[in-house]
Copies of this chain bind each other. A is one copy, B any other.
Amino acid sequence: MNWLLLARLLGLLGMLVGGAMSLSLPWAFPFAGQVEHFEEKGFWGLVGAIVFALVIGGTLYVVGRKNQGTVLRKEALAIVGLGWILSGLLGSLPFLFAGVQRAPGVPMNVADALFESISGFTTTGASVLTELEDPVLVPRCVMFWRCFTHWLGGMGIIVLFVAVLSHLGAGGKALLRREVPGPIAESVRPRVQETAMVMWAIYVGLSGLEALLLVAQGLSLYDALCHTFGTMATGGFSTYNASVGEFGGGTVEATIVFFMLLAGTNFSLYYAILRRQEPGRGILHRLAPVYRDPEFRAYLGIIVGASLLLTLSLVRTGIYENAGVAVRHAIFMSISIMTTTGFGTEDFNQWSEFAKGLLLLLMFVGGCAGSTGGGIKVVRFLIFIKAIRVEVERAFRPNVVRTIRLGGVPLDNTIRHDVIVYFSLVLFVFITSWMVLAAIEPDAQWQATNGDVNAAKLLDCASAVAATLNNIGPGLGVLGPAENYSDFSAPGKLLLTLLMLLGRLELFAILVLFMPSFWRTQ
């Protein structure tokens, strides 16, 4: 391991985080923010965190500045894993320094702040805050930082997918090669950088468009930005206790639904559309890369199917006054969960057990590869289903070699193996963490709110693990404690924080950090 190189790059990242923090400072002032008076605690808390980040980052940079080595596979992995952890640590400082209270009179402790910060950077959107709208509990400028971590994390993932994640296991590289129709195909280094830049520009462009549309519909710039961050990063942090339900449906909700859908789509498809600029051809020709993409079709198909099933379930149980409202909520929640955004309009805990189970399953599907969405990703499901067919056929035709095709393109056989490994690994991590969480959290918490029937604990723990591992955010949580992560114990919060990192970085970049052989100099 090239430690000096690591120090230099992590130092650079630390300074970047400090710089990004300073964009939250204006919101402490009445003219820019939502506040009447200057937010003293919030402002100085942010300033302290900025200084801290710059000092830490600067020191690391100075230590490693002489190093000019190139980033090899090991270093790349270490920078991804440690970089996300460092960002999370630094990002938690504003919450601590500004004395943010997770409930009236309960200041956030270290585990709380780390949970909230890493939940932001990993675009999970799970929160320990129980009251979002009171500037005394959470200063508006720190709240802005909280939402901004989503956007930074989302950008990181989009760029990272091109630069690093696609070169790891789980078939990433091959997936990318297949899906990015442009420069990456030749796979030379400058081209990777070019692709990353284009992706970054698309991300910024779509974000700007959404913010503009939201402002045009009467939202304050503050609310428009914060909800754009939550949407485009598929993060899900809102500035309101009622989340997107605050806006009461209508065009604002429709705008957010549409951009959630865009955020869960493979960004390279947008690039492909942009490149098809042949004069005299219609819009259908332009959109061909999208509707011909098997992953996008499956993504839309699952959303439509889930919306239908949810609508049926909602109409049958008759929770809503009419079918129109049921359809609206069904579509919103399907897209919010499937894209792993986690915005809410309705408390789905009152929905039927089947509806809740379906949402729990959707959590694992997730968005498309190359999007900001989390979860296992649609394309892996497509490959998994095909791979399973091949494996079953192998039981009676052991000597026939089959090649899986996706959208007509043959896939390398190692992808099949990698995808199956990824599936089993996700489920293994899910089950183990579920059990550990159930062991850590005392039963008493569930019994208190639910009489002697404490059955919901196991389910709540399962949903908390699923919602963090897949970077969704809100869990099913039938009972009080899990509607919000506030009441989980500190060790429980740290475990869930680790799961957010594991899910966001597609397991490997975090798992390797626990292997001694990874750190040994070869």
> In the complex, which residue of chain B has the Cβ closest to the Cβ of A352?
B443
**Which B residues are CB-close (under 8 A) to A361?**
431, 435
**Docked pose: A246 CA to B73 CA in angstroms:** 62
Contacts A353-B443, A420-B421, A511-B392: A456 and B453 contacting too (C-beta < 8 A)? yes
Chain B residue nearest in CB terms to A450: B453
CB distance from A447 to the nearest CB of B (A): 9
Of the A-B pairs whose beta carbons lie under 8 Å apart in the complex, a sample of 18, sorted by A's number, is A73-B398, A168-B395, A169-B395, A353-B457, A357-B438, A360-B458, A384-B428, A388-B421, A388-B428, A393-B515, A393-B517, A395-B508, A396-B518, A420-B421, A423-B424, A450-B453, A455-B479, A456-B459
Tell me the A483-522 residues at the B interface (CB within 8 Å). Answer: 508-509, 511-512, 515, 517-518
Cβ of B459 and Cβ of A478 under 8 Å apart?
no
Instruction: State the Cβ distance, A113 to closest chain B Cβ, in Å.
Output: 28
Interface membership of A276, Cβ < 8 A: no
A196 to B422, CA, bound (A): 37
Identify whether the interface residues of A are mostly helix, strand, loop, or mixed. Answer: helix
Cβ distance A462 to chain B, nearest Cβ, rounded Å? 9
Interface positions, chain A 356-384, Cβ under 8 Å from B, are: 356-358, 360-361, 364, 384
Contacts of A461 in B (CB 8 A): 357
Partner of A392, one of B395, B398, B443, B508: B508
Known: A395-B512, A417-B417, A459-B459. A428 touches B423 (CB 8 A): yes
CB proximity of A514 to chain B, nearest CB, Å? 8
- Interface set, chain A 412-452, CB cutoff 8 A to B: 417, 420-421, 423-425, 427-428, 431, 434-435, 438-439, 443, 446, 450
Minimum distance in angstroms from A507 CB to a CB of chain B = 8
User: Does A357 contact B425, Cβ atoms closer than 8 Å?
Assistant: no
Asked whether A34 is an interface residue with its Cβ less than 8 Å from the other chain, the reply is: no
| Range, interface on chain A | 35 or more
List residues of chain B with CB within 8 A of the CB of A518. Answer: 396
Complexed CA–CA distance, A353 and B361 (Å): 23
Which residues of chain A from 143 to 200 have any CB-CB distance to chain B below 8 Å in the complex? 168-169
Which chain B residues border A297 with CB–CB below 8 Å? none
Query: Across the interface, which residues of B come within 8 angstroms of A456, CB to CB?
Result: 453, 455-456, 459
Q: Which residue of B lies closest to A1 (CB)?
A: B396
The 8 closest A-B pairs by CB, nearest first: A455-B456, A395-B508, A424-B424, A455-B478, A423-B424, A427-B427, A353-B457, A357-B438
State whether the Cβ of A275 lies closer than 8 Å to any Cβ in chain B. Answer: no
Complex alpha-carbon distance, A417 and B479, angstroms:
41
> Measured between alpha carbons, how far is A425 from B385 in the docked complex, in Å?
10
Residues from chain B with a CB closer than 8 A to the CB of A354 are: 438-439, 443
Pick from B425, B455, B458: contact of A388, CB below 8 A: B425
Of the candidates B393, B424, B511, B515, the one whose C-beta lies within 8 Å of that of A427 is: B424
Residue pair B423, A169 in contact (C-beta under 8 Å)? no
Q: In the complex, what residues of B have CB within 8 A of residue A73's CB?
A: 396, 398
**Residues of chain B contacted by A285 (CB below 8 angstroms):** none
Let me know if A394 is at the binding interface, CB within 8 A. Answer: yes
Q: Does A40 contact B (CB under 8 A)?
A: no
Q: Report the separation of the CA atoms of residues A121 and B459 in the bound assembly, to the nearest whole angstrom.
A: 32
What are the residues of chain B within 8 A of A394 when measuring CB–CB? 169
Give the distance to chain B from A246, nearest Cβ to Cβ, in Å: 27
Q: How far is the CA of A231 from the CA of B232 in the complex (A)?
A: 58
Residues of B within 8 A of A431 (CB): 361, 364
- A77 contacts partner chain B, Cβ-Cβ < 8 Å: yes
User: In the complex, A77→B394 CA distance in Å?
Assistant: 12
Q: Is A74 an interface residue (CB 8 A)?
A: yes
Judge whether A109 is part of the interface by a CB distance below 8 angstroms: no
Assess whether A134 is interfacial by the CB under 8 Å rule. no
**Separation in Å of the A385 CB from the closest CB of chain B?**
9
Q: In whole angstroms, what is the CA distance A401 to B396 when docked?
A: 29
A454 at the interface (CB under 8 A from B): yes
What 1/0 mask marks residues of chain A from 63 to 76 whose CB sits below 8 Å from any chain B CB? Answer: 00000000001100
Distance A420 CA – B398 CA, assembled complex (angstroms): 17
Q: Inside 8 A of A396's CB, which chain B residues have their CB?
A: 73-74, 77, 512, 518
Chain B CB within 8 A of A391 CB: yes
Residue of B nearest to A514 (CB): B392
Instruction: Please determine whether A353 and B438 come into contact, CB atoms closer than 8 angstroms.
Output: yes
Q: Is there an interface contact between A357 and B391, defined as CB atoms closer than 8 Å?
A: no
A393 CB contacts on chain B under 8 angstroms:
512, 515, 517
Contacts of A443 in B (CB 8 A): 352-354
Distance of A497 from chain B, by nearest CB (Å): 20
Other A-B contacts than A353-B438, A358-B435, 17 sampled, CB-CB below 8 A, are A77-B396, A353-B446, A354-B443, A357-B435, A357-B461, A384-B428, A388-B421, A388-B428, A393-B512, A395-B509, A395-B511, A417-B420, A423-B424, A423-B428, A424-B427, A455-B479, A456-B459
Closest B residue to A518 by beta carbon equals B396
CB under 8 Å from chain B, chain A span 456-482: 456-459, 461, 478-479
